[in-house]
Structure 1
Amino acid sequence: MPSYLHEALLDLFRNELSLAFSLLADEFGVPVPDLANLRAEPCDFTDIGPKEFRGDLALSTHDARDRPVLGVCVEVQLDAKDVRRWKWPVYLTTLRSRLCCPVVLLVVTPSPKVAKWAEQPIELDNFGSVVRPQVLGPDRFPLVTDPDEARRSPERAVLSAMAHGAGPQRDEVLTAFLSGLMRTDEEHAKMYFELVDGTLTTAASRRLEELMERTPEHRGRIATKYVAEGREEGRTEEAAHALLTVLTARGLELSAAQRAQLAECTDHDQLREWLNQAITATSASELFG
Structure 2
Amino acid sequence: MPSYLHEALLDLFRNELSLAFSLLVDEFGIPANDLVHTRAEPCDFTDIGPKEFRGDLALSTHDARDRPVLGVCVEVQLDAKDVRRWKWPVYLTTLRARLCCPVVLLVVTPSRKVAKWAEQPIELDTFGSVIQPQVLGPDRFPLVTDSGEARRCPERAVLSAMAHGAGPHMDEVLAAFLSGLMKDLVDEALTTAASRRLEELMERTPEYRGRIATKYMAKGREEGRAEGRAETAARAVLTVLTARGLELSAAQRAQLAECTDQVQLDEWLKQAITATSANELFS
The bucket for the TM-score relative to the shorter chain is 0.7 to 0.9
Question: Offset of 1:225 from its aligned partner?
Answer: 5.9
- Are the equivalent residues in 2 in contact too, given 1:20–1:74 (CA < 8 A)? yes
Residue aligned with 1:139, SS: helix
Residue aligned with 2:207, SS: helix
Matched, 1:215 2:201: no
- Are the equivalent residues in 2 in contact too, given 1:33–1:69 (CA < 8 A)? no
Question: Offset of 1:218 from its aligned partner?
Answer: 2.9
Deviations 1:64-105 (A, max 9, x none): 211101000000011111110001011001100010001100
Q: Which amino acid aligns with 2:190?
A: L
Deviations 1:222-244 (A, max 9, x none): 8x9687557667359x99xxxxx
Query: Residues 115 and 65 (structure 1 numbering): CA distance in 2 closer, same or farther, change over 3 Å?
Result: same
> 2:153 and 2:61 mapped to 1: Cα distance?
19
Match of 1:201 in 2: 191
Residue aligned with 1:142, SS: coil
Match of 1:75 in 2: 75
> Normalised by the size of structure 1, how large is the TM-score?
0.73
- Are the equivalent residues in 1 in contact too, given 2:41–2:59 (CA < 8 A)? yes
Query: Residues 219 and 138 (structure 1 numbering): CA distance in 2 closer, same or farther, change over 3 Å?
Result: closer
Q: How does 1:1-289 map to 2 (within 5 A)?
A: 1-48=1-48, 52-181=52-181, 192-218=182-208, 234=227
Which structure 2 residue ranges, 5 or more long, are not aligned? 233-283
Q: Which amino acid aligns with 2:227?
A: G
Query: Residues 199 and 178 (structure 1 numbering): CA distance in 2 closer, same or farther, change over 3 Å?
Result: same
Q: Which amino acid aligns with 2:193?
A: A
Cα RMSD of the aligned pairs, angstroms, is: 2.6
Question: Offset of 1:193 from its aligned partner?
Answer: 1.8
Match of 1:243 in 2: none
- Are the equivalent residues in 2 in contact too, given 1:124–1:131 (CA < 8 A)? yes
Question: Offset of 1:215 from its aligned partner?
Answer: 1.7
Residue aligned with 2:179, SS: helix
> 2:225 and 2:204 mapped to 1: Cα distance?
22
Question: Offset of 1:209 from its aligned partner?
Answer: 1.2
Query: Residues 51 and 195 (structure 1 numbering): CA distance in 2 closer, same or farther, change over 3 Å?
Result: farther
Residue aligned with 1:218, SS: coil
Deviations 1:215-272 (A, max 9, x none): 22238998x9687557667359x99xxxxxxxxxxxxxxxxxxxxxxxxxxxxxxxxx
Residue aligned with 2:93, SS: helix
Match of 2:278 in 1: none
> 2:80 and 2:23 mapped to 1: Cα distance?
22
Which structure 1 residue ranges, 5 or more long, are not aligned? 182-191, 240-289
Equivalences, count:
229
Residue aligned with 2:166, SS: coil
> 1:194 and 1:4 mapped to 2: Cα distance?
10
> Normalised by the size of structure 2, how large is the TM-score?
0.74
Q: Which amino acid aligns with 1:211?
A: L
Q: Which amino acid aligns with 1:36?
A: V
Deviations 1:19-46 (A, max 9, x none): 0001011111111244432100011113
Query: Residues 153 and 78 (structure 1 numbering): CA distance in 2 closer, same or farther, change over 3 Å?
Result: same
Query: Residues 177 and 85 (structure 1 numbering): CA distance in 2 closer, same or farther, change over 3 Å?
Result: same
Residue aligned with 2:74, SS: strand
- Tell me the percent identity: 83
Residue aligned with 2:69, SS: strand
> 1:83 and 1:219 mapped to 2: Cα distance?
39
Query: Residues 81 and 136 (structure 1 numbering): CA distance in 2 closer, same or farther, change over 3 Å?
Result: same
Residue aligned with 1:53, SS: coil
Match of 2:257 in 1: none
Question: Offset of 1:198 from its aligned partner?
Answer: 2.0
Match of 1:267 in 2: none
Query: Residues 159 and 49 (structure 1 numbering): CA distance in 2 closer, same or farther, change over 3 Å?
Result: farther
